[in-house]
Chains A and B, each alone.
Chain A
C-alpha cells in the first residue's frame, strides 16, 4: 500500500515485558514522527527523525522509551519494562518535507494494552 504502515495493529502485553512497535513510512518520506494518543486527547509528541538522525526526543517520557531509524526508512519504537500507564494508541506519521509546511501522513496506529 501507499500509506504509512504500523505493526502490530494491537499489542497486549504483561507489565514488565518489552515491546517493539514498527513503523514503515511512505516510500521516500524524509521525516518520521512518533506520537502517543490517549482516548479523547490529541497526539502527544514523542520523537522525530529526519532520515536516520533523531532530531528531537524531548517527548519521550523516560529512559524506558527509545526509538531508532537505522537506515532512514523503517522505524522502531521500543518500550522496556512496560507499565500500565504506557497503555495508549501509538501513532507514527511521515512527511515528504517538500513544502514549507510539513504535511503529516498518519498510520492507523498500534493500540498497546499493558495488563
Chain B
C-alpha cells in the first residue's frame, strides 16, 4: 500500500464549477500537508500548505485536513481554464523529514 493515495482522474469540469480534489494517507506521523500544481512539461509549484488539522483559504483555493480520517482535500471555487493542470498532494512528518507526493490528479476546466 502506498503511503499517499490520490485519484489520478482525469477530472473534467465546466468553467465556474467548484472542484474537489482529495488524497488519503496511511502514515499517522504526517503533520505537514501541501498541494502542488504542475503544468504540462513543467516542474511542480507549491500552491498551498497546512499544518496538522484544519482549513486554510487562499483566494479561490481552500485546503482541508482531517487527520482523524487521514484525508485531505483541495477545493477550487469559480474554476478557470488556467486552473487546468495536474494537482499533487504532498506530505511530511516534520519540517526536517522527506516529502512524499501523491500520484497527482489531472484536472481540465472546459471553457
Q: Which residues of A contact B (CB under 8 A)?
A: 4, 33, 35, 40-45, 48, 50, 55-56, 58-59, 91, 93, 97, 100-104, 106-109
Query: Given A40-B8, A42-B88, A45-B101: A101 and B43 within 8 A (CB)?
Result: no
- Is B14's CB within 8 Å of the partner chain A? no
Interface residues on B, range: 20 to 34
Chain B residues with Cβ below 8 Å from A56 are 97-98
* A contacts with B: majority SS: loop
**CA of A41 to CA of B97, assembled, Å:** 22
Q: A42-B6, A42-B104 are in contact. Are A102 and B99 (CB under 8 A)?
A: yes
Q: How far, in Å, is A8 (CB) from chain B's closest CB?
A: 16
A41-B95 contact given A100-B51, A104-B44, A109-B43, CB 8 Å threshold: no
Interchain CB contact under 8 A, B43 and A107: yes
B46 on interface, CB distance cutoff 8 Å = yes
Contact B43 A106, beta carbon cutoff 8 Å? yes
A101 close to B34 (CB less than 8 A): yes
Question: Would you call A101 and B88 a contact (CB within 8 A)?
Answer: no
B43, B49, B51, B98: the one within 8 Å of A91 (CB)? B43
- For B46, give its contact among A41, A59, A104 (CB under 8 Å): A104
